[in-house]
Each structure stands twice: as structure tokens, then as C-alpha cells.
């Protein structure tokens, strides 16, 4: 009798557990978990977005083209006006923004309207946590993307960013989650891991600075070869914009001058937007869709006719 009662309690417990798991899965699916953007691991690039994939993440559309870009699809062999926006998660747009709210998408539509040319393509060459080394390796692998203007968007932290120094394997997923609940548990584990672990590569700042700068200079030379115009854009964090000061601004301005490319700093540009009541950033570093909209207008003004 006791054994029978134990079996019944065990079955009841399993039923309750299964029911709660199903309910949790439904809830997390409704929140937006379940479809995690995937990347391909690469010895040189470190990782890049898996080409020709589409996802729904937290209610936002994410589409990746044949070259692993979160932007409209196109054929680089086809002759058409091409503009590149190169960077990290600031350009990628995070998963809190819909594809239509990313900088490349907004700029693409804006240029088509302003120039009355539907053939214009703006490509977003970017992924979260990329530094100059990742950008260079990606461009060498999938490029050249010959075009009109290339915007190289960099932040202060990119000065010393080198491949394989992040806390996790990637800021994305390599394997698709089995369910929304699985996706959530992975995300929670990653957040915890970020807080516990430090950077994987323990190199002195000056060494990382040197390696990152070498990659940046090589990338600049490739872009100068392939584009009629190259503009280095310094992206200020929210704190930098509000304070009106950033070490990265001086650093990138000097590199741009030395290698004969145009330079634009968003430092005072964002500060002015905040004074107008426009919330440029969605967090400490990434842009809100309003910020992308305003920056798109500015980049359009910088394009040489």
C-alpha cells in the first residue's frame, strides 16, 4: 500500500512538473523567446551570423542575408549603388529593435527616397561584440563590397577589442534552442556567466590596443580601395554624450587624419539631441530607434555627391 501511494505521488509530481514546464514554455514563447539568432564559428572571423536566416525575437523581425548581414539581401556582383555601415551591436541593432528600426534599414529607405533610386543598397556589416579584427576578417572573407560610401562606426571600447577576448563563446547561439523555455534558461545562464567570468584573453591594454589598431588600419586601407568615400564615425555612449567628453573621440580622430579618411563624432550630436528631449540611446551604449533615425539623417548629409 505504501509503495502504491509513493508511485501515485511520484506520478502526480511528474504531471505537475510537466504542466508547469509546458505553461512556462508558452509564457516564454509569448514573451519572445524560442528563436535565437545563430552564428557560424570561424577561426579568423571568430563568428558571423548564419546566412539566409529569419527569426522572430521579442516581437522583432531579424533577417540575415546571403553574406551574413542583418540587412536587405543583394548580390555584390551586381552593379548598383552600395553603401556600407560597419560596426558592432550598435549597428546590428540588438534584438530589442525590429529590422525596420536598425540604422542600415532606415538609411537604405532614406537614400532611396532622397535620391529617387530604388536600386540603392545599404549593407550592415556588423555583429554584437565585434571589434576591428572581426570586421577586417569578415570583409576579407566575404568582400570586397565595392561601393559609394563606407561608414565605419566605432566606440571607445573598440580601441582595445580583439577577437576571442569575450566572456562567452559568442554573444549569439551556435545551436538552435529546443524550446522557448530552453532558450530562456540559456539566456539566464549566459547573464550569470557574464557576471562571474572575466575576459578570456588576459593581454595588457597596450598590447590589445596595438593589435586592434593594426586591424583597424588594414580595414581602412581596404575600404579606401573599394569605396569612393570612407567616413570614420565615433559613436559616443550615453554617459560620454551627456558629459561631453570621451577618450575615444581624440583617438579615432587622429587615426582618421593620419590615414586620410573623413571623421565625424556623435559626441555633441547626441548631446544636442538629449537637450531637444530625444532619447538617443536605449541603454548605456546602444541606440534607440529614434537615435538610429537621427543618425541616419546625419550620415545622409555626410555622403559626398
List pLDDT tens digits, range 59-110.
Answer: 899 999 999 999 999 999 998 999 999 999 999 998 889 999 999 999 999 9
As a whole number of angstroms, the distance between CA 137 and CA 143 comes to 10
Mapping DSSP to helix (H, G, I), strand (E, B) and coil, where does residue 270 land? helix
- Give, as one character, the DSSP assignment of residue 262: E
Q: Which pLDDT score is estimated for 217?
A: 98
* pTM of the model as a whole: 0.90
As a whole number of angstroms, the distance between CA 218 and CA 228 comes to 17
User: Rounded to the nearest 10 degrees, what angle do helices 205-226 and 247-258 cross at?
Assistant: 50
Average pLDDT, integer, range 280-284: 94
Q: Which residue has the higher pLDDT, 11 or 282?
A: 282
Average pLDDT, integer, range 3-31: 66
Residue 138 clears pLDDT 90, i.e. is over it: yes
As a whole number of angstroms, the distance between CA 233 and CA 154 comes to 6
As a whole number of angstroms, the distance between CA 31 and CA 188 comes to 14
Q: Which pLDDT score is estimated for 223?
A: 98
* pLDDT > 90 in the chain, percent: 68
| Class level of CATH domain 32-302 | alpha beta
List pLDDT tens digits, range 47-56.
Answer: 999 999 999 8
Mean per-residue pLDDT over the chain, rounded: 89
Average pLDDT, integer, range 167-174: 74
Domain ranges of the chain: 32-302
Residue 184 clears pLDDT 90, i.e. is over it: no
Amino acid at each position: 500500500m505504501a509503495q502504491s501511494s509513493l508511485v501515485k505521488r511520484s506520478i502526480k509530481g511528474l504531471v505537475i512538473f510537466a504542466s508547469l514546464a509546458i505553461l512556462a514554455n508558452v509564457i516564454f514563447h509569448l514573451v519572445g523567446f524560442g528563436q535565437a539568432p545563430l552564428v557560424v564559428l570561424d577561426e579568423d572571423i571568430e563568428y558571423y551570423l548564419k546566412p539566409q536566416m529569419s527569426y522572430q525575437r521579442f516581437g522583432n523581425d531579424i533577417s540575415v542575408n546571403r553574406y551574413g548581414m542583418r540587412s536587405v539581401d543583394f548580390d555584390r556582383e551586381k552593379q548598383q549603388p552600395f553603401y556600407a555601415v560597419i560596426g558592432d551591436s550598435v549597428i546590428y541593432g540588438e534584438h530589442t529593435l525590429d529590422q525596420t528600426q536598425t540604422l542600415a534599414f532606415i538609411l537604405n529607405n532614406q537614400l532611396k527616397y532622397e535620391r529617387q533610386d530604388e536600386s540603392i543598397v545599404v549593407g550592415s556589416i556588423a555583429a554584437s561584440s565585434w571589434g576591428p579584427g572581426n570586421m577586417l576578417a569578415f570583409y576579407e572573407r566575404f568582400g570586397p563590397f565595392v561601393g559609394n560610401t563606407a561608414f565605419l562606426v566605432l566606440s571607445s571600447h573598440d580601441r582595445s577589442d580583439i577577437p576571442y577576448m569575450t566572456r562567452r563563446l559568442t554573444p549569439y547561439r551556435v545551436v538552435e534552442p529546443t524550446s522557448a523555455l530552453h532558450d530562456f534558461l540559456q539566456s539566464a545562464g549566459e547573464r550569470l556567466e557574464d557576471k562571474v567570468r572575466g575576459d578570456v584573453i588576459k593581454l595588457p591594454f597596450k598590447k590589445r590596443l596595438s593589435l586592434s589598431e593594426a586591424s583597424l588600419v588594414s580595414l581602412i586601407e581596404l575600404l579606401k580601395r573599394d569605396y569612393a568615400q570612407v567616413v570614420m564615425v565615433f559613436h559616443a555612449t550615453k554617459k560620454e554624450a551627456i558629459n561631453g567628453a570621451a577618450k575615444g573621440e581624440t583617438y579615432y580622430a587622429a587615426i582618421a587624419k593620419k590615414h586620410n579618411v573623413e571623421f565625424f563624432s556623435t559626441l555633441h550630436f547626441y548631446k544636442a539631441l538629449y537637450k531637444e528631449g530625444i532619447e538617443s540611446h536605449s541603454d548605456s551604449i546602444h541606440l534607440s530607434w529614434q537615435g538610429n533615425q537621427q543618425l541616419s539623417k546625419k550620415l545622409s548629409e555626410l555622403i559626398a555627391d
